Amino acid sequence: MGATHDAEVDQEEEARRMASLLAARRALRAGLEKSRALTHALAPRLEAIQARLPAMEASVRPIRAPREALATAGTNIDRALGPAAAVLKVFDAVHGLEPPLLDRAAVADDLPGYLAVLAQLEAALRLLADNCGLATQWLADVVAYLGERRLADGRFVAGLAAALDRLRDAAATADLDAGLLAAALDLLEAEFRRLLKDHSAPLAMKDPAGGGSDPPAVVPSRIPASVVYKLSLILDRLAANGRIDHCSSAYADARGDTVSASLRALGLDYLKETSGDAQALSPSVERWGRHLEFAVHHLLEAERKLCVAVFERRPEAAPVCFAEIAARAGILDFLNFGRALAGARKDPIKLLRLLDVFDCLNKLRLDFNRLFGGKACVEIQSRTRELVKTVVDGAVEIFEELPVQVELQRNLPPPVDGGVPRIVSFAAKYCNQLLDQPYRSVLTQVITIHRSWRKEVFNDKMLVEAVLSIIKTLEINFDTWSKSYGDPTQSSLLMMNIHWHFFKHLKGTKLGELLGDPWLREHEQYKDYYSTMFLRESWGTLAPLLSREGMIMFSKGRATARDLVKQRLKSFNASFDEMFQKQSKWVISDRDLQQKTCHLVVQAVVPVYRSFMQNYGPLVEQDVSASRYVKYSADDLDKKLNTLFLAKPGRPMRAGSFQIKNSDDKITSAMTGLYRSASTLK
């Protein structure tokens, strides 16, 4: 019993212990769960505390720093914050200027007000440029001081240093306004171009060389004074900000195109002509002179004044801009036309046209010096000097060669019709032109300039002598030409024509005055002499054929008399027909001389023929063969002879002669082949 009792007691004890262990286990497990839950709950807080520890450490660090370092840092920070705060206020002011400066309408509506706001921006940017660097440097010194002494968190210090570097770079590149100034200047430049475009329409005008001698009245500029003032204000601000090249280019484009378009309205296509014939270029030379004078006096002069007004605040840029306008307007095209003429084939007409070019350039010399005298117009100056030299050299070369070229005509055949050689009529008019104004003074000036280059002298008297030498050389040709004919009658006709032409066409002219009345009367006397010789050797030979010798009626019978009349009429008719046929191809150039000569021929033939027919005509008129012998009545002969020596349309030229066409008493053509035969000229 006792043993059983003990066993039960032990079992109960064991059960109590197991129950205690189970309870303990349950308690431990519950505690563990609570601990785990607490850990999960505290983890975020611990992480937050861990994150705040560096800052707390940094804030506590100054407490551990030496007192002297802290005191110095405070002083440096206070000193740096003042300029930095001022810079920040300026930045705020710049930001406040952004709306009005980006307002496009404000530029056009209130330009002075817009420029006033822009001036504020420029002043603010200058203040920033002057002070931003200093403030940044002071702040950088403070940051470096804090970093070196570990008075602040290293990452914080690094962030400040990076921000200051960016600010310093912005100050160095003048980008403190984030492009606001550039945007405002772009708006001003756009307004500058708009004003030019709206007030740069080409002038409407007609060719001054077309309808009259005077060019049309032209308003100097269509740009109102108020617009000029605006352009000047805008240009000044743009130039102050380094955009003078943009302004000059825009201004030169607008005004240069305007002047060019105005000139094109005059019809300047002829400036592109490249003909090597001076005669072909002659009609354009007069227009060239008028147009060049018009362009200089009325267009370019007005443009220069306008350019000076617009660039009033920047006068140093005006010459370059005006030079560009002149180039765009085509002033060099005018000079190129002169060069094209100077390069044309040499002939006497070219000399006159070169003198026209020189005269025009000489009249515009002072204007050229005033308009194109600066360094900016060096190309125009150079091209003008080259043209003047080329014109002077070419004119003098042709003039000095004229007597030689006239002499070369001596060996060429005279006109087949016995008329006045074209070189004679041309030379008479040509020399008169050279000795009359304006060519006389211009040619004298040209030769004087050319001789001065060679350290030689020249005067008007020497010019007269040179021109007279051309006439004297031409006179020598007369005898040579007259001997070229196989028929002495035609030689007399040629000499009669030439001498009368000289007398009639030189009398009362400048050349005739210089040659003198005795010289002119000598040619008139030569005309009379050769007229007499012509009649005696030609038509004067017909009268003896109608001689009355042996014609006494019924002296040897009627039949014999009839045979003599037939024989003499037959001889007369044959000689008359032969002579008329030959001389009907000849020409007396002067109408008065032609009529007078025809009258003399009629007087030498018709009265004798009429008398013969009145006396002896009845002997043959009733004969069945009368028509074979009585071919003409006296009136028929009169009418027929009066048709002699008339100029024929399209009269042929002899080779190498001067070719001229007369229009309004002006020489309008030149020699053909004159400078190609045995000539030393190119």
Give the bridge partners for 658, in sequence order.
671
* Neighbour tally for 626: CB within 10 Å: 15
Beta-carbon count within 10 A of 275 CB: 13
pLDDT at 657: 39
pLDDT of residue 655: 33
Checking if the pLDDT of 510 tops 70, the result is yes
pLDDT at 309 over 50: yes
pLDDT-based confidence at 531, cuts 50/70/90?
A: very high
Nearest by Cα to 127 from 188, 171, 182, 165: 171
Percentage of the chain lying above the pLDDT 70 cut = 74
pLDDT one-digit tens code per residue, 65-75 = 555 555 555 55
The SS3 call for residue 416 is coil
- Contacting residues for 36 by C-beta, under 8 A, at least 6 apart: none
Closest CA to 668 of 302, 286, 136: 286
Residue 648's SS3 state is coil
Q: Averaged over 579-598, what is the pLDDT? A: 94
pLDDT at position 8:
75
DSSP letter, residue 315: G
Across the chain, mean pLDDT equals 80
pLDDT tens readout for residues 594-607: 999 999 999 999 99
Mean pLDDT of 53-58: 59
Residue 327 burial (CB count, 10 A): 17
Amino acid, single-letter form, for residue 578: E
pLDDT at 587: 95
Total-model pTM: 0.73
Tell whether the model's pLDDT for residue 211 goes beyond 50.
no
Quick one: pLDDT at residue 665?
39
Predicted confidence at residue 529, as pLDDT, reads: 96
Q: Which of 120-124, 364-368, 652-656 shows the highest mean pLDDT?
A: 364-368
CA distance 276 to 278: 7
Joined together, the tokens standing for residue 311 give 């660039």
Query: How far is residue 393's CA from residue 391's CA, in Å, rounded to a whole number?
Result: 6
| Segment of 131-145, 208-222, 485-499, 623-637 carrying the highest mean pLDDT | 485-499
Instruction: Report the C-alpha gap between 266 and 287 in whole angstroms.
Output: 10
Name the more confident of 522 and 63: 522
User: Per-residue pLDDT for 10 more than 80?
Assistant: no
What is the CA 79 to chain-centroid distance, rounded? Answer: 68
pLDDT at 204: 64
CA 277 to chain centre: 21
For residue 458, pLDDT beyond 80 = yes
pLDDT at 576: 94
State how far the alpha carbon of 617 is from the alpha carbons of 367, 549, 622, in Å.
85, 15, 9
Q: What is the pLDDT of residue 542?
A: 93
> What DSSP designation does 617 have?
T
More confident residue, 411 or 167: 411
Does 281 or 43 have the greater pLDDT score?
281
Q: In the prediction, which pLDDT does 265 show?
A: 84
pLDDT of residue 49: 66
Residue 269's identity, in one-letter code, is D
Q: How many Å from the N-terminal Cα to the C-terminal Cα in the chain?
A: 170
Which DSSP helix (H) or strand (E) runs through 660? none
Q: What integer pLDDT is reported at residue 7 of this predicted model? A: 75
Average pLDDT of span 71-91: 55
Which of 22-31, 186-195, 591-600 comes out lowest in average pLDDT? 22-31
Enter the tokens of residue 400: 């000095």
pLDDT tens digit sequence for 645-666: 998 765 544 433 343 333 333 4
C-alpha–C-alpha distance, residues 428 and 520, integer Å: 13
Residue by residue, DSSP assigns 551-581 as: --TTSS-HHHHHHHHHHHHHHHHHHHHHHHH
Query: pLDDT-based confidence at 41, cuts 50/70/90?
Result: confident
DSSP assignment letter at 653:
P
Nearest CA-CA partner of 576 in 532, 542, 614, 537: 542
Give residues with Cβ within 8 angstroms of 419, minimum separation 6: 494, 497, 586, 587, 588, 589, 647, 651
Please give the residue that has the higher pLDDT: either 643 or 15: 643
Out of 201-205, 255-259, 665-669, pick the least confident.
Answer: 665-669
Query: Which residue has tokens 């012998």?
Result: 629
Residue 517, pLDDT above cutoff 80: yes
